[in-house]
Structure 1
Amino acid sequence: MASKETTKQEPPEVAEFQKELYSLFDSRAASASKIDRLTKLAIKAARYYKNIVYHLEKFITRCVPEYKLTGLYVLDSICRTSQSVKTKSSSGTFSGSEYVSRIERNIEALFAEFCKVQEDKEKVTGGYYKGDILYTTNRQEGVVRKGAG
């Protein structure tokens, strides 16, 4: 009997991003070239930004603590790069703010995940978004409150 659940096929660009993202588990530390490649794939697949952000959030929430900081590096790289790149596609123009606004929706929950990292990495995540212009002040304050509480 066929499954009641229908699985949607991921667009090739999203599948490639996901494959590259999970290949981070193959090495202990993420190289700058891997993070750059993931960023380029995310920008290339800009019209599927919701799918890309979903997979990145899923990676961060489900990975072991040793890889959460790597997920943060990827998230930061995509957000910063997307702010400086405008892409035209068949479905319209990518302004760059799509990634930031999508990630901003769940940044507090993601920060709670980042707080589960090893103690020696807490300092890095604690001050990471403070003073960052990518996110609104309200979001930054919410993140600080989550980290303090």
Structure 2
Amino acid sequence: EAVKTFNSELYSLNDYKPPISKAKMTQITKAAIKAIKFYKHVVQSVEKFIQKCKPEYKVPGLYVIDSIVRQSRHQFGQEKDVFAPRFSNNIISTFQNLYRCPGDDKSKIVRVLNLWQKNNVFKSEIIQPLLD
């Protein structure tokens, strides 16, 4: 049920024109945290969304990952966060999909990666190859 709610929040992104509002991101993130018991499904849904969505929704998809991971770390602590390790499993293919975004959006991806590196969201050996 929690996963269903999360999925409908996530896929409702398609009804909005990017950029996506802060409020919408918060809704999606809250739904993800509520579904934390099923975090593997949540991660898989986001990965699938990024894989299948139109180019202009790639970066909003990345912002969803960023928002979920940051909220989870904030709420449960870095050690207990389950989302970042799970997202890092397929991060290479996720970013290959992300880079199929409009040209103007590529700098936004790099900005998120740099922030992740600065704040140790993911290990730098994970992030560095994505920046190259």
Q: Is the TM-score greater than 0.5?
A: yes
More strand by share: 1
Paired positions, count: 127
Aligned partner (choices 99, 107, 110) of residue 83 of structure 2: 99
Aligned partner (choices 125, 129, 132) of residue 142 of structure 1: 129
Q: Which has the higher contact order (CA 8 A, sep 6+)?
A: 2
Gaps of 5+ in 2: none
For residues 11-30 of structure 1, what are the structure 2 equivalents within 5 Å?
A: 12-29=1-18, 30=20
Gaps of 5+ in 1: 1-11, 88-94
For residues 28-47 of structure 1, what are the structure 2 equivalents within 5 Å?
A: 28-29=17-18, 30-47=20-37
More helix by share: 2
Query: What's the TM-score, normalizing by structure 1?
Result: 0.80
CA contact 1:85–1:96 (8 Å) conserved in 2:
no
How much is the aligned-residue C-alpha RMSD, in angstroms? 1.5
Query: What's the TM-score, normalizing by structure 2?
Result: 0.90
Q: Distance in 2 between matches of 1:123 and 1:86?
A: 30
Asked if residue 84 in structure 1 is aligned to residue 74 in structure 2, the reply is yes
Determine what percentage of the aligned residue pairs are the same residue.
33
List per-residue Cα deviations over 1:64-96 (Å, max 9, x = no partner): 101011101111000001001129xxxxxxx64
For residues 37-76 of structure 1, what are the structure 2 equivalents within 5 Å?
A: 37-76=27-66
> Which runs of at least 4 in structure 1 moved beyond 2 Å after TM superposition?
none
AA partner of residue 107 (structure 1): I
Asked if residue 119 in structure 1 is aligned to residue 103 in structure 2, the reply is yes
